[in-house]
Chain A
Amino acid sequence: MTRTPDSRQLAQIKAALFLVCLLPLARLGWAAYTDDFGPNPVEFIQRWTGTWTFNLLLITLCVTPLRTMTEWHWLIRLRRMLGLFCFFYASLHFLSFIGFDHAFEITEIARDIAKRPFVTVGFAAFILLVPLALTSNQWAIRKLGGRKWQELHRNIYLISILACVHYFWLVKATALLWPLAYSAAVALLLGWRVRERRRKAIPVPRFATAKPVKFFKQKPE
């Protein structure tokens, strides 16, 4: 079952994935073209970009568990693109916030980030995403070294928790179903990692019957 695609096939898979990841953007383009953003256009755009940021975050977090379970190790080679698309939609989400809500006025933006807790948390998550996007290239990995790079990129776990808090905090108390569902997905994906870590940390037990090698104090006669 562990058939690995060759480099040509992988390039095709990547191209297809790239196009699929552009679909949410195409939906916005279509709405703009047909002038049909619904009654509250900005709310629609902000929800849409926010939802797809979160979706891509979850999909990115699925790569490692899926790879472990299926042993399709080539899946790891799709992760960067998924992560970058997550950042892309997060950027659109952030842009729609600073642009539509505050017409790019820095003081207004700063005040809003300080005033509304859900904005504060969302902003923190976005700021934490930036270094991950910047170090997503081969050169940065080499420069940082694998271990350091991995440590930095573990921030994605914190970001996913912040994303849950951001979501919970922005909805009405009467509409908790979706944030709950997303948080459950995050809990599942992070929980799996904790379990994996524990599993790998357990030392291999010694054979109960094994005896240490005995050395003679004296040279036998």
Chain B
Amino acid sequence: MLIRHPLDIPPSEITDPARYAARRKFIQTLLLAGGAGALGVARGNPPAATPGASLGKLQSSPFSLTDDKATPFKSVTSYGNFYEFGPDKESPARHAHRLRTRPWSITVDGEVKTAKTFAIEDILNWAPLEERIYRMRCVEGWSAVIPWVGFPFSELLKRVEPTGNARFVEFWSLADPEQMPFVRLPLLDWPYVEALRLDEARHPLTILAVGMYGETMPKQNGAPLRLVIPWKYGFKGAKSIVRIRFVEKQPATAWTKAGPDEYGFYSNVNPDVPHKRWSQSHERRLGEFFKRKTLPFNGYAEQVAGLYAGMDLRKYF
């Protein structure tokens, strides 16, 4: 005789595994790719003063990589170059805790109608924050895939008016010996100044990043705001920016001053133009054992090659 035990949960209440998985996927998409755009949510961004705080819902971007796996957060935050905190790859993670990211403001001056100073709290509300999963290629031959959080540089251009003379943009990093112990040493010509041609800065791929991996920017990665230009070598992306200056003439930048024949103004990722001391044809993704081929313009040739039409990239390296 078949005895039927009454079920605690009626079958109708049990979630179908397929639905369950789909729900998980949905939440993951929401968290990782940033479902805010899909949901049409673009309210004010949370203040997020401390590094490691969640940046809330993010808009996804068509510029994000879809196939590449993001490099582990731990690798990106424990290995990198930020000479203000020391010359070793491990130095930034060790010393960057001394950086004070509040209060923080950024002055925009030079060839603009009116110079302005913006508080970081206001900048965070300029535009809905987007997640941009980009390749990052260091001039030294290692690379990563980083989900940055930020907004296009062009958002700044809506708030200041460059004059007709403005052809280049400089990005000045903080150089405070109290917070950045290695600024006392003449490792580079401080403060660290990087620069772009105005059309490069305007390009939709160029972003001002205020976070990564869905959180506010870790100090060792350039909190509270840094530049990210994914088709250029990593050092072009100035960290902990305090000043943005529009200028007429091509400026001398930190690494170009340190080694003019090794680090050019453009520094576009180019496997065919070797560094003076090593080849740039291959790179090693953090965490991987074998090297992979470096792509022209770091894989963004389709979007940016036009910026350099007719230029000899060997000469303008």
Residues of A within 8 A of B (CB): 38-43, 100-101, 103, 112, 115-117, 172, 174-175
Contacts A115-B279, A174-B187; A40 near B88 (Cβ below 8 A): no
Residues of A within 8 Å of B142, CB to CB, are 40, 43
- Cα distance, A40 to B187, chains bound together (Å): 24
- Among A40, A42, A100, A112, the residue within 8 A (CB) of B79 is A40
A39 near B277 with CB under 8 A, answer no
A42 near B286 with CB under 8 A, answer no
B89 near A40 with CB under 8 A, answer yes
Interface string of B185-216 (1 = CB under 8 A from A): 00100000000000000000000000000000
- Cα distance, A172 to B89, chains bound together (Å): 11
Residues of B within 8 A of A (CB): 72, 74-76, 78-79, 83, 87-89, 142, 187, 274, 277-279, 284, 286-291
Contacts A39-B286, A100-B290, A115-B279; A175 near B88 (Cβ below 8 A): yes
Whose C-beta in chain A lies nearest to the C-beta of B258? A173
Known: A40-B142, A40-B286, A41-B289. 18 other contacts (CB 8 A): A38-B78, A39-B74, A39-B75, A39-B286, A40-B79, A40-B284, A40-B287, A42-B284, A42-B289, A43-B142, A100-B290, A100-B291, A103-B290, A103-B291, A115-B274, A116-B277, A174-B187, A175-B88
Q: In the complex, how many angstroms separate the beta carbon of A101 from the nearest chain B beta carbon?
A: 7
Q: In the complex, how many angstroms separate the beta carbon of A28 from the nearest chain B beta carbon?
A: 13
B78 near A39 with CB under 8 A, answer yes
Residues of A within 8 Å of B290, CB to CB, are 100, 103
Q: In the complex, how many angstroms separate the beta carbon of B175 from the nearest chain A beta carbon?
A: 16
Residues of B within 8 Å of A174, CB to CB, are 83, 87, 187
- Cα distance, A152 to B272, chains bound together (Å): 43
Q: Which 10 A-B pairs have the closest CB atoms?
A: A39-B79, A39-B75, A174-B87, A174-B187, A39-B286, A175-B87, A100-B289, A39-B78, A40-B286, A116-B278
- Cα distance, A77 to B79, chains bound together (Å): 43
Q: In the complex, how many angstroms separate the beta carbon of B228 from the nearest chain A beta carbon?
A: 19
Residues of B within 8 Å of A117, CB to CB, are 277
Whose C-beta in chain B lies nearest to the C-beta of A117? B277
Contacts A38-B79, A39-B74, A100-B289; A172 near B87 (Cβ below 8 A): yes
- Cα distance, A40 to B144, chains bound together (Å): 11
